Each structure stands twice: as structure tokens, then as C-alpha cells.
A and B are shown apart, each in its own frame.
Chain A
Amino acid sequence: MLLRPGIRGLLRLPLHRRELAGDEMDEEIRSHLELRVAQLVAQGWTPDGAAAEAERRFGSADVRRSLRAAARHRTEVMSLRERMEALRYDVRYALRQLWNTPGMTAMIVITFALGIGANATMFGIVDRLLLRPPAHVAAPDRIFTLQLIAAAQRKPPMLGPAATLVAGEGLVQKSWSYPVYQGMLANVRAFEGVAAESYASEYPLGRGTSARTINGVLVSGSLFPTLGVRLLLGRGIQPADEAPSTAADVIVISERVWRRDFGARRNAIGQTVELGTGRFTIVGVAPAGFNGLDHERIDVWIPLLAPHAPPFPLPTWATARNVQLLTVLARVRSRMTIAAAEAQATSVLRADGAAHAESDSLARVRLEPVIPARASHVSPGARVALLLGLVSTFVLLIACANVANLLLTRTLRRRRELAVRLALGISRGRLSAQLAMEVMAMALMGGCAALGVVALGGRVIERVLLADYAWPDAAFDARLLGYAALATIVVGLLASLVPAMHGIPADLSLELRSGTRGGVSRTRLRTALLLTQATLSVVLLSCAGVFVRSFRNATSIDLGLDIDRVLVATVDLQGAGFSNSAMDASYRQMLERLSTSPGIAHATVAEGAPFFQSTVQEPVSLPGHDTVAALGGRSVRVVAATRDYFATSGTRILHGRDFSTRSDGEATRVAVVNDQLARLLWPSGDPLGQCIKIGGPKEACSEVIGVAAATRTLHTDGTKVDPQAYVPLTQGIHLAAARALMIRPAGNDPEVAVRRVQQLLQTTAPNLPYVSVVPMRTLLAEDIQPWRLGATMFALFGLLALVLAAVGLYGVTSYMVGQRMHELGVRVALGALPRQVVALVVGQGLWIVGLGSLLGVAISLGLAGLIEALLFQVSARDPLVLALVAATMIAVALVATLVPAARAARADPLSALRGE
């Protein structure tokens, strides 16, 4: 008896199979009836009678209909079960295959893990820097910060960050005065809520040796309601806290501080802390991860008008329109368009300008979205992060190409096994599915391992590169996990295409014979994959190279002062309630203490020195002129310092003298100008002994006693030399917020003195708030951050790409050598020297990598425009970098191919000949 194979029709569509099952049932019933009739006729029935009897015994027409339906249902159930069974079998088979080749599996899984991990890490960063709205803000797409756009010739504010000149827009200013904020609050109907907050800064917490600082902001009473933040505990700062009659010393603390300092106890509400000059009552705890609109970590929110709120540098801040220190944000009503809201805000601003001479009457208001990706200007750090996100996708592609290559090698090695299975009757579709399953399994393992890479990479980046950003404590969140899962699936599918398309033997008879090699198309594919890898690696390494050079340029530039030899100490005496004379006395005491301590070469107290947080800008004029044409309306940066300033900072005096020979109390006003200012004011004459008026034409003369070398400030597009003047501290404007100590320890490395200097200063007086001491170099850290980030990350990714390319090349060359062992043996038998065999194998790899390097260099040159703007004093087409990178790539390729080549050189001529 012959049974037809039951797997027939396994791959037919289910609908078709259902119909087939119904037809089969009909046929079966027909055959049954025929047999029955034959039996009955044999028993003596007439044919007609037999037919009727057979029908009767079978049952009614309903029975047949229900049988047909039952058969169809059965087929459905069974085909589903079969498919599940096949899937289970395939998965088990795939896992067994992977287990059998542990080395190859590990290599592929690691490649996946590194590629996906690097990509997901960068996604996490880009997501946080650019895509994600600020945490805990309700409906963030209706929240905007207010920016002022003005004509370029605008008078700078007396206090507050200067506007930046943006091409095509004019001056863009992000800070506002308190009166203008109040005007917006009262008069712009398009806004559902308007709030203001100060820049975040460190406020003194506690006193004496237990003193420390806490990062906080001063906020309007409307901030929490406008943002729609739900407090974790207690209440937020309320409008009543801003009303002069009800304002009280209350604060909201962060969840972090609540947990760290109050053990996360509910009774923290109502407790008091000593902050600045007052005792503040804790009224609320902000939800974990809430930092307002910023990335910076905020630990305390203080009402702007709290009686003992840390004061602003100028007491007139609440009424003066030229003290612009507040960020103003607004929630636009849901029915209002942004343009209409901008128009309303602009008319309110202009009305205010018309009423007050010191305000703007021509400027307009722009509403800037708070989701960084939608903002009109992206910060350099975020731009670098975005670029790196792109780069990590490159790395992922390289990893993908690498995996594809390894897989191809792996599948080709198994061609005989696959051919045998095909010959035994497995369908090509099923075989492809099985191969794809193996790749997916490895991709999934790689994806899981990638989470480890993300956790590690995220921590490194957070610690080393983006320390100022407020990262959430958890390394993962749903978005990151979702992205990693998506990346894993996409990459797995992409990579599984290769063996499914190219791994399955086309011609069985050819495969089953021994000694055959892979076809031409596969070799071409492998070459293309290797070429892609080499090209992308060279592009990445070139980027790394120019970023490293940018970073080095930015750090090694001569800034005109010994930034690496100086420490800067800041202490918020004003915030701790010291009077002006008490402040002066404290600084004198600290200077005294430093000058009597061994190991300190020089020290000075300075206001507005280069790289300090606050600067002092003042108009400068000459006798007989109201303005100086050469300055073009610009104000001049004024540094006020005690006598040792030049010795401490290392700024050279070019002519004349500094003020070290004078005593501080001397009455005549003197100034040192930098050579930039000297050139502008006295293009031909001798500046020494001249008179300049610092602060305006009505001020008294200051005699120029010396000319100092110019100092530079760093900008993304290079360095800038600003006109600058130095005056004795006593003749400065006494801006406490801009004041700090500069200390020059005796040794070459000031870092080692940081702790000692901190203790020296902190113990000068028992009532001092926390004295923070940092190397001056770190004040620059934020300015050079983009290059640091770029250099580090590009170097990491470039290295990763290089390693991947090397592994890929090694794997493929090894495989080729293995395949050609026979041929090589014949060559040796025919007299080829080992040297020639090595050259043959290495030459093949080098040819591919050489071409890849050329392509990579060409692409780097083509893409140079993309990153040029992010670099510092180096061209993206830097020939040195490109040459070095290409050389590195070729050297690595040499090493990666030499190992298999050495094996090729040992090809055995005897076994080759025996095989013939």
C-alpha cells in the first residue's frame, strides 16, 4: 500500500487548503458510497435499491454539510499546529547550530552588541538633548520661552547676558527684566500663564566647615502652575509667594535632596534650612527628574520675592528695565496661534518701550519652543551629539556589513550540510526561514548584550563628558528600550537577508560533489561588504582625527594668561548676607592668609577677569569725545583687581608698568589697557600717560600706566581678542557677583593644591559660606565641551569601526585561505615561494582596503562641509589627518591579513597533489 507524502500542500495558502479539505471530504464520501453500493449489490440488491440504501445509511444531506464544515475546521486547526510545530523545531535547530559554532556565534553576537549598543547609547543622548520635552511639564508643546529680537545697534543691558548676533535675524536676547515680565503677565491675553526664573546658580547652604552649596533657581510664583507640575509632596511656589504682602521664606526642594538629606520622610515638609542669609521653610518636594526647562540639575526653587531670597547683583533689579537676568516662559492658550501670541507679546513689549525711555520700542518677541529639536538654534553640544548619533548609525551599518560577511562565511562553510538537507526534501523557503532564525537569535542575544553596552557607555558619557547635565538615575527607560528593540529587529532582518539570499546552494549536484568553491557573485558581495566597511571606517576615523586636532587646538591655544597654573576660588559672601565692608575685609583676610602660606606664589582678588562667570562691560571714552569711533559703540571689558593680578594670571605687561607698586588706597585713578584697546584708541601715539574715561564721558580721567598683552576668549568659530582695561580693585564698580580669588601655587600643577587651598580659605573665618576652588582650566571646560565630546566619541566610534573592519577582514581572509588551501598547495608544489604566497593573500586584502581608504578619503572630503562649522582652527579636509587615517587603515589591514597569510604559506604541496 502506497501512502502519498503527508507534507504535500504544506506551503499552500490556508484558504486554498480549507477548500481542498472540503473537496477531499466529498470525494471520500463518494468513494464510501461506491464501496457500499458494490457490497450491497454483491448481497443481491438491485443497483437502484443499493444506491438508495447506501444514501440512507450514510445519513441526511445535513450530515454531509456538517462533515464538510468539520473537515475544513480540522484543517485550519491542524495547519496552525503544524506551523507552530515547525517554528519550534526551527528555533531549536537554530539554537543547536549556534551552540555548535561557539566562536563564530560569539563574534557575531559581540559585533551586534557593540553596533546596537553604540547606536542605542547615542540615541539615548540625542533623545535627551534634543527630542524629549522637559520632564513633568504638562502639554510641553504649548510652552515657549520668550526671546527678544532687536536691531543690531541695540544698547546692551547694564546687567545680564549680552545678546548674540544671529545672521539674518539681528540681536537675539533670551533674558528679560522683571518689569517686562510683569507686563507680559498682566497684558498678554494669548498667554494662559507667564512665569520667570533666574539663571541657575550655586547658593550657600549652611556655614563654616559644614557649609556647602546647592544648585537652585529663583522663580516667580507662576512657574509651577504655568508648567503644570504635580508636586511629589506638599505644594509648589505659588503666586501668593510673589505678592509683596504674603511673600515668605519658603522653598521647594528636589526629590534628590529630599531623599539624600531628609531620608525621603514626609515630615520634611515644614522643616527649615539655612540658605544664604535666611532660614527657609520647605513647602514642597518636586517630582524626581524635574529640572524646570533646563538640562541642568536643580535642587532648590526659591520665590523671587522671598524676604531673604539670595539677592541679585543689583538691588534695583525688580524695577530697572536694563537689568535683564530672567528667563521668561509662557503657556499659549490652546486656541491661539503662535504668531498671534507673538504679535500680542510684541505689542505689549513696544507699548512698554514707548512708556519707558530705557526700554525697547522696536524689538519684537519670538516664542521659542522648549523641545530642543524644534528650537530655532541648536546648541553646539547638541549638534555634536546629533552628528554622533548619525555616526553611531554608521557604526551600526559597519557592524551589519561585518555580520553579513561573517554570516556568509559561516553559511558557505555549511553549504554541504544545506545541500544535503535540500536533497532530503526540505523546501528552500523553510531553509531560508531556518537560516534567518539563526541570525535573528544572534541579533536578539546581541540586543540583550547591547543593553550592557548602553548602561556602561551611558555612564561613561554622563561622568566624563556631560557632567553638567541632569541625567535621570535610571540607565534605561521605555523609549531607549523601544529603540534598542527596534534597532535589533531591523539589523537582524537586514543581516538575515544575506544568508537567506546567498547562502542556499542553487545547484545541488554541484554542491554535493566535493571540492567546489563559492561562485563569483558571492565573492563580489563579500568584496563589496569589506569595501563598505573600510570606507566607512576611514570616514569615521577622519572625523575623529579632525575633532582630536580641534580639541588639542582649543586646549593648547595661548589665551594670554597661564590658565594651567592658576586656581580660582569663589565664595558667595553677598548671598550669605555680608555687607560691602565685611566682604572687603573677608577678601583681605583671605589674601593675607594666602600670602603667609608656603607654596603659594601669588594671589589676587579680581572682578570680571577672563573666564569668570560674570564680566563687567563699560563704555570708554577719551577727553573731548563723547564716543570713540574706533570702538563702534562697543563697551570695553574692565577687570578690577588687586596689585598682584598680573603676576598671578601671567598676563604680560608690554610697556609701562602694572599697579603692583601702588598701594590700593591711592587716590589717582590709573588703568592698564591691553594692546588691542591701545591700538583702537591711540592708533599712532603712545598710550602711556594718556587719559581714558571708564564708565562714560562724565567720569574722571584714569591715567594709562601700562599696556598689557591681549587675552583671548574662545568661541566656536575661533578665538576673539576684545579690547580690555585693568583698574585697581578699589576703582572698580564693586560688583560682588563678578568677584573671585585667583591663586597661583608654586608648583607646575595647580590641581594638587586645590584641597589645601580650599581648607586654607575655608578656615580663614568661621562664618564663611562654602568656598569653591577649581583650576582655572575647568572654567574653560564648558567652552571646549563640543570638541571634547566630538574628539572622545569620534575616537571611540572610529576605533570601534576599525576593530570591526579588522575582524571582518581577518575572518574573510581566513575563510578564503581555507578555501584556496588546495590551490595554494598546488602553487607551492609548482615552486611558489612562501613569500609569494603571503604576498598573494595579503595583496588581495590590501587591494580592497586601499580602494576603501581612497573612497573614504573622497567621502570625507565631500562631507567636510557638514562638520567644518563644528571644528576649531582645523580644516575638515586636513591632509595630515586624512593621510594618517588612510595609513592606519592599511596598516591594520596588513596585520589582519598577515595571520591567515602565514597559514597559507604553510600550504602543504603533498596533500594538494594527493588530492588531484
Chain B
Amino acid sequence: MAKTLPLVRGSLDVLVLRALSWGPMHGFEIITWLEERSGGVLDVEDGALYHAFVRLESRGAITAAWGETENGRRARYYKMTSAGEAVLRAETSKWLQYTGIITDILTVARPKPRAS
């Protein structure tokens, strides 16, 4: 098993929205998608994912309804709302800006010490 990384605070919501941008999914689908995409590196506790659903649902970013899986199991499907799309766009650009700046700072060469 590969070594896992803990999730950066607040990033789970935007990941869920990204997953749902392809269409309605149920909770387990989303979590397996995340595990596959990250090659199992991201350490997401399953319960935390459901907290994210609750958060997003009460913000109006997603809606939920019961449906059936391809195998005939009952599952709760989540669907992104138009408000959710806006959240996803905003959060994505914020994330990119954030990681860009952090990367810049972390990779810049150390300035020369001043001559005395």
C-alpha cells in the first residue's frame, strides 16, 4: 500500500464538486473515483465525505435524491446545482492561485546574504 497524504483542510468539498461535475453520483462512487484518481494516496475517511455532502447540501451546492444503482441497489444520488457550479469555478481558481503562490515561495532561490 502506498504511503498516504492527509487531506488539506477544505479541499474535500471542491473535490466532491469536481466529481459531480460529470453527472449525478452516489457517495461510494465518488469515494472510489477519488481513490482511483489519487492512486490511493489521498487519505479520505469515508465518514468525512458524508460530512462534506451535508455541508454542500445545506449550502445549496448539491441536491440529493434516492435512486437505484446499476446493480439494483438503493443509493442516495447527489447532483450539482447551478449554484454548485459557481462554487466549483470559484474554489478551483482560488486553489490554483493558492497552490501557485505556495509553489513559487517554496521553490524560489535563497537570496544572497548582504555584504557587511
Contact B24 A67 (CB under 8 A): no
Which one of B8-16, B63-71, B99-107 is at the interface?
B63-71
Q: How far is the CB of A85 from chain B (nearest CB, A)?
A: 10
Which B residues are CB-close (under 8 A) to A164?
none
The answer to whether A67 touches B67, judged by C-beta atoms less than 8 angstroms apart, is no
**A4 close to B57 (CB less than 8 A):** no
- Minimum distance in angstroms from B23 CB to a CB of chain A: 9
Q: How many pairs, one residue from A and one from B, have CB atoms within 8 Å of each other in the complex?
A: 76
Stretch in A21-29, A530-538, A732-740 with 4+ CB within 8 Å of B: A21-29
Nearest Cβ on chain B to A7's Cβ, whole angstroms: 11
Contact of B54 among A35, A36, A39, A74 (CB under 8 A): A74
Number of interface residues of B (CB under 8 A): 28
B116 at the interface (CB under 8 A from A): no
* Smallest CB separation, B21 vs chain A (Å): 17
| Closest beta carbon of chain A to B11's beta carbon, Å | 18
Whether A314 sits at the interface, judged by CB under 8 Å, is no
Q: Is the Cβ of B54 less than 8 Å from the Cβ of A70?
A: yes
Q: Does A866 contact B (CB under 8 A)?
A: no
| CA–CA, A279 and B54, complex, Å | 85
**In the complex, A184→B57 CA distance in Å?**
79
Question: A2, A28, A34: which contacts B76 (Cβ < 8 A)?
Answer: A28
Q: Is A3 a contact of B47 with CB atoms below 8 Å?
A: no
Contact bitstring B39-59, A, C-beta under 8 A = 1, else 0 = 000000111101100110110
Interface residues of B: mostly helix, strand, loop or mixed? mixed
Q: Is B28 an interface residue (CB 8 A)?
A: yes
The interface residues of chain B lying within 8 Å CB-to-CB of A78 are 57-58, 60
Q: Is the CB of B58 within 8 A of A58?
A: no
User: Range of interface residues on chain A?
Assistant: 20 to 34
User: A59 and B28: CB pair below 8 A?
Assistant: no
Per-residue CB contact flags for chain A residues 251-287 toward chain B (1 = under 8 Å, else 0) read: 0000000000000000000000000000000000000
The winner among B54, B55, B57, B66 for most chain A CB atoms within 10 A is: B54
Taken together as a complex, chains A and B put the C-alpha atoms of A60 and B45 apart, in Å, by 10
Q: A28-B50, A57-B45, A63-B45 are in contact. Are A3 and B65 (CB under 8 A)?
A: yes
With A31-B75, A32-B46, A58-B46 as known contacts, state yes or no: A2 contacts B68, CB within 8 Å: yes
Q: Verify A57–B46 contact, CB threshold 8 A.
A: yes
Q: Is A71 an interface residue (CB 8 A)?
A: yes
Q: A63 contacts B47, CB within 8 Å?
A: yes
Given A2-B68, A25-B50, A35-B28: A59 touches B57 (CB 8 Å cut-off): no
Name the B residues within 8 Å of A67 (CB-CB): 47, 50-51, 54
Docked Cα-Cα span, A57 to B75, in Å, equals 19
* Chain B residues positioned under 8 Å from A64 (CB to CB): 47
Q: Which residues of A are found within 8 Å of B28, using beta-carbon distances? A: 31-32, 35-36, 39
Q: Which residues of B contact A66 (CB under 8 A)?
A: 51
Tell me if B47 and A59 are in contact (CB < 8 A).
yes
- With contacts A4-B65, A34-B73 taken as known, whether A58 is within 8 angstroms of B57 at the C-beta atoms is no
Jot down 23 A-B pairs with beta carbons below 8 A, ordered by A: A1-B24, A3-B77, A3-B79, A25-B50, A28-B27, A31-B73, A31-B74, A31-B76, A32-B50, A34-B73, A35-B28, A36-B46, A57-B45, A59-B45, A59-B47, A63-B48, A67-B51, A67-B54, A70-B54, A70-B55, A73-B58, A77-B58, A78-B58
Q: A1-B77, A27-B74, A28-B27 are in contact. List 14 more A-B contacts (CB 8 A).
A: A3-B67, A3-B79, A25-B50, A28-B75, A31-B26, A31-B28, A31-B74, A31-B76, A39-B28, A59-B45, A63-B48, A67-B54, A71-B54, A78-B58
- A residues near B, CB below 8 A? 1-4, 6, 24-25, 27-29, 31-32, 34-36, 39, 57-60, 63-64, 66-67, 70-71, 73-74, 77-78, 81
